[in-house]
Amino acid sequence: MKAGVLYAPHDLRVEDRPDPQFGDDDVLVEVTYNGLCGTDATEYGKGPMMVPLNAPHPGSGHQGPTILGHEFIGTVVDAGANVRHRIGERIACGAGVSCGECAWCRAGRTNLCAHYYTLGLSTHGGLAEYAAAPSSICVRIPDSVPDIDAALAQPLAVGMHSVDRARIQPGDTVVLLGVGAIGTFICSALRGHDGPVIAMDIDQGRLEVASTLGATGTALISPDATATDLRDLVPGGIQVVFETSGVFGSAERALSMVDMGGNVVLVGLNKSPQPLNLADVVLREVNIQTTVAHVCGSDIPAALDLLDRVHLSEILPAHPIALADVVSDGFEPLVSGSANGKIVVDPRRG
Ligand SMILES: [Zn+2]
Ligand SMILES: [Zn+2]
């Protein structure tokens, strides 16, 4: 089969690989679409951060060149003996593999599994004609959800999980500090919230997308806006802030702009240590939440359910490209920031 294999930063090769091996609990999937996201761009452009090119991954045991792709859907073409999925079924893969037995798995927090690993990051994934995956992390796609929408299930599940972590109350005013890639999925996951959802970003185009996705208000902000500037934009007060930008200093702004007793969800990542005014956080009883990945068993079905009601691909245009063009039309535009909409790879195109 043809596969996109990461060898080193800026060295991704589309090459022939043996079809994946699969075990009794796995499905073999013919990949319909594999979405690319910022995580892939980071691995390709600045990595490896997560891909175990140089040392074995403790969860997967895999080491070396790796087939990327953690956002994939496809059709089951073969299956192990213990698998409940049928041949021909369309599935969305959650990509995160958990053991089912550790304390975190038993508590339902499978995204924190002690042995967690991710297809397409810690071992081979879906950027290929075929992928093998544990059937336990694959969810049947409802017949009424088109492939191009279902291709958004995994990143939308990440947004769903962020919203779950936020403990939003009815009527709360929610601010999205940044509506780039993950921010748009959080905005989508907030559909149905019965209070204001205000998107703030430095890019007018992103704000327009956020409005279409259901944000009730938008604000174009300057990169050096202070917390006071931002709070003044919402005179009624802010109960929940999602900090999605990961920009240095933005966590501090989020913590300062939220109301007393409010919740801040840290979503964006910045590896540099940064100062926080924790005395202010404590004295105002601000809750800091964090979120990572998604809980496959609940968030992927919830994402597919939402995609059944809202055809997100019409709002977040997904651009299918051929696997052969994945470097020139996928990774390079993502790394340079010139990509528009969501890039999905269709390996059936060659
Ligand atoms: Zn992703
Ligand atoms: Zn576990």
Domain of 258: which CATH number? 3.40.50.720
In a domain, 96, yes or no: yes
From ligand 2's centre to the CA of 22, what distance in Å?
21
From ligand 2's centre to the CA of 24, what distance in Å?
19
**What interhelical angle do 181-189 and 204-213 show, nearest 10?**
20
Torsional sign, CA 278, 281, 282, 283: positive
Which pLDDT score, from 0 to 100, does residue 210 have?
96
- Whether 202 and 177 share a structural domain: yes
- Whether 64 and 165 share a structural domain: no
Residue 238 and residue 175 in contact, taking contact as beta carbons nearer than 8 Å: yes
* Nearest of 214, 66, 187 to residue 128 by alpha carbon: 66
- Whether 64 and 164 share a structural domain: no
- Whether 41 and 85 share a structural domain: yes
Domain end residue (candidates: 253, 273, 290): 290
- Whether 128 and 201 share a structural domain: no
From ligand 1's centre to the CA of 177, what distance in Å?
19
- Whether 142 and 164 share a structural domain: no
Spans of the chain below 70 pLDDT: none
**What's the rounded Cα separation, in Å, for the pair 186 and 132?**
29
**What interhelical angle do 296-309 and 153-165 show, nearest 10?**
110
Pairing of strands 197-201, 217-220: parallel
- Whether 97 and 219 share a structural domain: no
Which pLDDT score, from 0 to 100, does residue 316 have?
85
In DSSP terms, 96 is beta-bridged to: 118
Assign residue 69 a region: left if phi > 0, alpha if psi is -120 to 50, beta otherwise? left
In a domain, 322, yes or no: yes
- Whether 11 and 61 share a structural domain: yes
Q: Which domain holds residue 207?
A: 159-290
pTM of the predicted model, to two decimals?
Answer: 0.95
* Closest-approaching ligand to the CA atom of 104: 2
Surrounding ion ligand 1 within 5 Å at CB are 37, 39, 71
Based on the structure, what is the number of domains in the chain?
A: 2
